[in-house]
Amino acid sequence: VLASLCVMEPVASSGKGNNSNALISLRMILDPLFRYIESREHLSDEEKWALERSVGDVINVLAHKDIVAHGATPSSSSLILEGFACGYQVVAGRHRQITALHVMGDFVDLPSLLLKRADHPIAAVTQCRVAVVPHEALLRISDRHPRLARLLWLATLIEASADRRRLAVRRLPAPAHIAHLFCELFVRLKVVGLTRGNSYCLPVTQMILGQAVGLSSVHVNRAVQTLRGAGLINWSGQTVTIPNWTRLCEFAHFNPSYLHVDQLKLADTRTSRAAQRSDS
Q: Which residues bind a copy of itself (CB under 8 A)?
A: 87, 89, 91-92, 95, 97, 99-100, 111, 114-117, 119-120, 142-143, 146, 149-150, 152-154, 156-161, 163-172, 176, 214, 253, 257-258, 260, 263
Q: Which does 53 bind (CB under 5 to 8 A by kind): DNA, a copy of itself, none?
A: none
Residue 51 interacts with DNA (CB under 7 A): yes or no: no
Helix, strand, or coil here: 260?
coil
Rounded distance between C-alpha atoms, residue 51 and residue 133, angstroms: 10
> Which is nearer to DNA, 206 or 271 (by Cβ)?
206
Rounded distance between C-alpha atoms, residue 196 and residue 210, angstroms: 25
Contact 68, 78 (CB under 8 A): yes
Which distant-in-sequence residues (6+ apart) come within 8 Å of 154 by Cβ? 33, 36, 37
Contact 199, 242 (CB under 8 A): yes
Binding to DNA by CB under 7 A, coded x per residue (else -) over 203-232, reads --xxx--x---xxxxxx-xxxxx-------
> Which is nearer to a copy of itself, 164 or 228 (by Cβ)?
164
* Contact set for DNA, span 160-179 (CB under 7 A): 173-174, 177
Binding to DNA by CB under 7 A, coded x per residue (else -) over 233-262, reads ----x-------------------------
> Which is nearer to DNA, 129 or 177 (by Cβ)?
177
Torsion-angle region of residue 78: left (phi > 0), alpha (psi -120 to 50) or beta? Answer: beta
Q: Which does 156 bind (CB under 5 to 8 A by kind): DNA, a copy of itself, none?
A: a copy of itself
Rounded distance between C-alpha atoms, residue 279 and residue 194, angstroms: 9
Using DSSP bridges, classify how beta strands 95-102 and 85-91 pair: parallel, antiparallel or unpaired: antiparallel
- Which residues bind to DNA, rule: CB under 7 A? 173-174, 177, 205-207, 210, 214-219, 221-225, 237
